[in-house]
């Protein structure tokens, strides 16, 4: 085979065979195909797309380029959750102990934030001492002992995906749905999970801006999972405003603790419970979503989920006292209100702009090597649909510098205030199996 022929085939709208895809990935990882040819293939794929079989075969080829965890020795159906990323999306943190305390093992391999979206690992590292780096043996032992672990990916998992993703980032091909889906699934299948719940965000703060594109991605993820023998369900969820009321690493941990104490914002609670219920059904611990929801609500009310979170923190070297005293989390030096200029209702919030504002405060990465300030962020006082009087606080900035005038102006501009309250939009827009 020749790479130039595969590029031409895809450029002309052809369908690559499994053998062709396997050869391409094997040769690329072996440095026998140069980056410029792989870049050309990625651009051809961006424009011509892939069939369901092609994107599944690409996921499997990238999966087979590295190690794959075998979790068969851990009893039960192992279930994981993946979010496509959003602003204020801290759901993995309360979700993991909630599901684990109800008997479903959660072997979660998570990522870090880049740009306007936060990362689960960064948030957890705001807990003093919390270690996200474990060996495979430690990871397996922890899931077997306490039913949960949240760690960073091994460098040996799906190395082809890591190299191809770096190319996509600099060749304007990140937005290709087949490339996104195969990238996600190569890593998730490599983690050894038996079932997956996908939280596919849609809206101005999400990677997928339209529901049509989000649905395409959700169907691609579920399809690849089925081809791999991994059961799955995808929820399309709203990201036209931040999730919850906090954006920023330690602030989101505090909000997650509130959820586990059966408090916290309604949207975070609703999404946590809904995703948890689907995970319980996939994990064969509940026969229906209704039964699963009741089990989850009980675990929040009686403290089991909170206790499980303390176990998770302690097992990974963190200071579990933060659960009872969130002031032990990193605290910002300054708290500065951003106020409304006019009366009315909040009709829209530019989530992307708020995510970028937190990044500019130091709470997110402009590049992969950026050093984070884990204390900074925003606490929202108003969300879409709430009434506003001029002078009301829209958001409170938590900062470690008092030079934040430009950031404050950007935050104020992110809120649209109009004379009429908008029609309330559902948090969960669609479920795809």
d(CA 294, CA 298): 6
pLDDT, residue 170, reads 87
**Catalytic: which of 10, 78, 81, 82?**
82
Query: Is 226 labeled as catalytic in the residue annotation?
Result: no
pLDDT, residue 155, reads 63
- Secondary-structure class of domain 3-49 per CATH: mainly alpha
Mean pLDDT of the chain: 95
d(CA 363, CA 340): 24
pLDDT, residue 35, reads 96
pLDDT, residue 364, reads 87
Taking only the tens place, the pLDDT of each residue in 84-98 is 989 999 999 999 999
Query: Is 315 labeled as catalytic in the residue annotation?
Result: no
Provide the CATH number for the domain formed by 79-323 in this structure: 3.40.1030.10
pLDDT, residue 169, reads 82
Taking only the tens place, the pLDDT of each residue in 298-332 is 999 999 999 999 999 999 999 999 999 999 999 99
Domain definitions of the chain by residue range: 3-49, 79-323, 330-418
Residue 381's pLDDT band (cuts 50, 70, 90)? very high
Taking only the tens place, the pLDDT of each residue in 129-180 is 999 999 999 999 999 999 999 999 876 889 999 899 889 988 999 889 999 9
Flag the least confident range among 27-36, 157-166, 389-398: 157-166
pLDDT, residue 111, reads 82
**Catalytic: which of 112, 123, 163, 187?**
187
- Mean pLDDT to the nearest integer, 359-374: 85
Put simply, whether the predicted model's pTM sits higher than 0.75 gets the answer: yes
pLDDT, residue 114, reads 65
Q: What proportion of the chain, given as a percentage, has pLDDT over 90?
A: 90
Residue 370's pLDDT band (cuts 50, 70, 90)? confident
pLDDT, residue 157, reads 86
Residue 48, Cβ density class (10 Å: 0-12 exposed, 13-18 middle, ≥19 buried): middle
* Contact assessment for residue 362 and residue 373, using Cβ atoms and an 8 Å cutoff: yes
Query: Is 168 labeled as catalytic in the residue annotation?
Result: yes
pLDDT, residue 162, reads 87
* Contact assessment for residue 67 and residue 188, using Cβ atoms and an 8 Å cutoff: no
- Mean pLDDT to the nearest integer, 187-213: 94
**Catalytic: which of 126, 152, 176, 183?**
183
- Secondary-structure class of domain 330-418 per CATH: alpha beta
Residue 115's pLDDT band (cuts 50, 70, 90)? low
Taking only the tens place, the pLDDT of each residue in 47-58 is 999 999 999 999
**Catalytic: which of 80, 89, 122, 161?**
161
Contacts with 429 (C-beta within 8 Å, 6 or more apart), sequence order: 202, 211, 214, 236, 237, 238
- Mean pLDDT to the nearest integer, 270-283: 98
- Predicted confidence (pLDDT) at residue 404 exceeds the cutoff of 80: yes
pLDDT, residue 165, reads 87
């Amino acid at each position: 085979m020749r790479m130039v022929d595969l590029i031409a085939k895809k450029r002309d709208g052809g369908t690559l065979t499994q053998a062709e895809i396997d050869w391409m990935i094997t040769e690329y990882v072996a440095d026998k195909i140069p980056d410029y040819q792989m870049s050309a293939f990625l651009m051809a794929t961006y424009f011509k797309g892939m069939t369901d079989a092609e994107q599944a075969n690409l996921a499997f080829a990238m999966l087979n380029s590295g190690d794959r965890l075998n979790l068969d020795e851990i009893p039960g159906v192992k279930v994981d959750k993946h979010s496509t990323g959003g602003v204020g999306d801290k759901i993995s943190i309360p979700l993991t102990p909630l599901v684990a305390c109800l008997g479903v093992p959660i072997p979660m391999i998570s990522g870090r934030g880049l740009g306007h979206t936060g990362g689960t690992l960064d948030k957890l590292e705001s807990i003093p001492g919390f270690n996200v780096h474990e060996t495979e043996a430690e990871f397996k032992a922890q899931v077997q002992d306490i039913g949960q672990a949240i760690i960073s990916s091994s460098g040996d998992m799906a190395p082809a995906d890591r190299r191809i993703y770096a190319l996509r980032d600099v060749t304007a091909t990140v937005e290709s749905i087949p490339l996104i889906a195969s990238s996600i699934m190569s890593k998730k299948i490599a983690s050894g999970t038996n079932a997956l719940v996908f939280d596919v965000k849609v809206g101005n703060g999400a990677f997928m801006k339209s529901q049509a594109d989000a649905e395409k991605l959700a169907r691609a993820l579920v399809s690849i999972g089925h081809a791999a023998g991994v059961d799955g369900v995808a929820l399309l969820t709203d990201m036209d405003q931040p999730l919850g009321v906090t954006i920023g690493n330690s602030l989101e941990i505090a909000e997650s603790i509130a959820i586990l104490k059966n408090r916290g914002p309604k949207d975070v609670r609703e999404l946590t419970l809904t995703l948890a219920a689907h995970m319980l059904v996939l994990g064969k611990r509940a026969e229906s979503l209704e039964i699963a929801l009741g089990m989850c609500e009980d675990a929040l009310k009686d403290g089991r989920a909170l206790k499980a979170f303390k176990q998770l923190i302690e097992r990974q070297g963190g200071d579990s006292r933060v659960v009872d005293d969130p002031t032990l989390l990193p605290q910002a030096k300054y708290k500065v209100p951003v106020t409304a200029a006019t009366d009315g209702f909040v009709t829209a919030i530019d989530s992307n702009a708020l995510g970028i504002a937190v990044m500019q405060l130091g709470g997110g990465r402009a590049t992969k090597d950026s050093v984070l300030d884990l204390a900074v962020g925003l606490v929202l006082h108003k969300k879409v649909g709430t009434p506003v009087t001029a002078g009301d606080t829209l958001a409170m900035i938590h900062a470690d510098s008092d030079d934040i005038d430009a950031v404050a102006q950007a935050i104020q501009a992110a809120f649209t205030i109009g004379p009429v309250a908008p029609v309330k939009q559902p948090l969960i827009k669609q479920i795809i199996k």
